[in-house]
Amino acid sequence: MGHRWSRLLVFLLAAVILSAAGIGQVKEAGRFGRLQEDTVKTGAFRRQTLDDGMQDMIRDMEDPGELLGIYWLETGFGEQPFSGNCTEQAFESMGRSWKRRLYWNVYAEACRAIWDDLVYFPIPVSKDGEAEEISFVDSWMYERNYGGTRGHEGTDIMAGENVRGYYPVVSMTDGYVTHKGWLEQGGYRLGITAPGGAYFYYAHLDSYAEIEEGDPVKAGDLLGFMGDTGYSKKEGTMGMFPVHLHIGIYLIHDGEEISVNPYQPLKYLENRRIECVYGRKN
């Protein structure tokens, strides 16, 4: 009897160990399953969820995109608390396993395109020494109804004073002008393609600087002035909403345009406001 019970006990113990190992493998497979060919198309990635601790950590980094890419994979894109140490060495260690995965390069390239070209907040302070009041909130995918119900693919920077043509708008990145002109929803807009390939969209402008499609731009270059144009097929329509700047960030993945939430990139830049000459308060 003693031998039979011993063998049974060994068998049960082995079963428990194998079961635990199997569960661990399933969990690990599930974790690595977050990185797929179309991960950058998912709503989880496009929301760009980020806490204040990570904002602080990336503040002066040259390559925040790669570190944030690891952070999102480790946390299920913000759904789970981050269990690692918030040091570059810890992220380098965690990144080794992700960098061996099949789709890492495509994913990391997208993360860098969003984050690594960011230089300046798009609304500067006045050369008179005044930091003109602006505000913005995370309105990603809030409902919009003009032209049919849709999700808001951007962040609106609201003017403290509802005066068109007063607040200057500068480029957040280096790049070149891909699009300029009137859009029914966006009014007078500019599209800047940054070196990493992301497309930065500035909408509802009151007027443009001396800039044309195809021109190169440097981060901090004047693009125009904040306005309230748009929501009409008739070019030049104003006053359909308060003065503000709509910022959009887009990626191209497999030929498809994908919008990502600009709120956290703007939070990252909000203390990087250069000086610029403001317009007149007519």
pLDDT tens-digit series, residues 189-202: 999 999 999 999 99
Domain co-membership, 263 together with 186: yes
Least confident of 74-88, 180-194, 238-252: 74-88
| 8 A C-beta contact, residue 250 and residue 257 | yes
**Is the whole model's pTM more than 0.85, yes or no?**
yes
Domain co-membership, 83 together with 179: no
Residue 7 placed within a domain: no
Which of 96, 115, 134 terminates a domain? The answer is: 115
Domain co-membership, 188 together with 251: yes
Domain co-membership, 57 together with 191: no
> DSSP state, 229?
B
pLDDT tens-digit series, residues 22-74: 444 434 545 768 999 999 999 999 999 998 888 999 988 889 999 999 999 99
Average confidence (pLDDT) over 226-251: 96
Residue 281 placed within a domain: no
Least confident of 80-89, 98-107, 185-194, 260-269: 80-89
Which of 89, 115, 141 terminates a domain? The answer is: 115
Domain co-membership, 199 together with 77: no
Residue 58 placed within a domain: yes
pLDDT given at position 7: 61
Residue 88: domain span: 33-115
Which of 91, 115, 139 terminates a domain? The answer is: 115
Q: How far apart are the C-alpha atoms of 250 and 255, rounded to whole Å?
A: 12
Residue 116 pLDDT class (50, 70, 90 cuts)? very high
Closest CA to 244 of 188, 124, 132, 164: 164
The domain that holds 269 is classified in CATH as: 2.70.70.10
Domain co-membership, 141 together with 257: yes
Contacts of 163 (CB under 8 A, 6+ apart): 243, 281, 282
pLDDT given at position 16: 47
Domain co-membership, 101 together with 220: no
Domain co-membership, 182 together with 205: yes
pLDDT given at position 17: 47
Domain co-membership, 214 together with 241: yes
Average confidence (pLDDT) over 3-21: 52
Domain co-membership, 146 together with 59: no
Residue 6 pLDDT class (50, 70, 90 cuts)? low
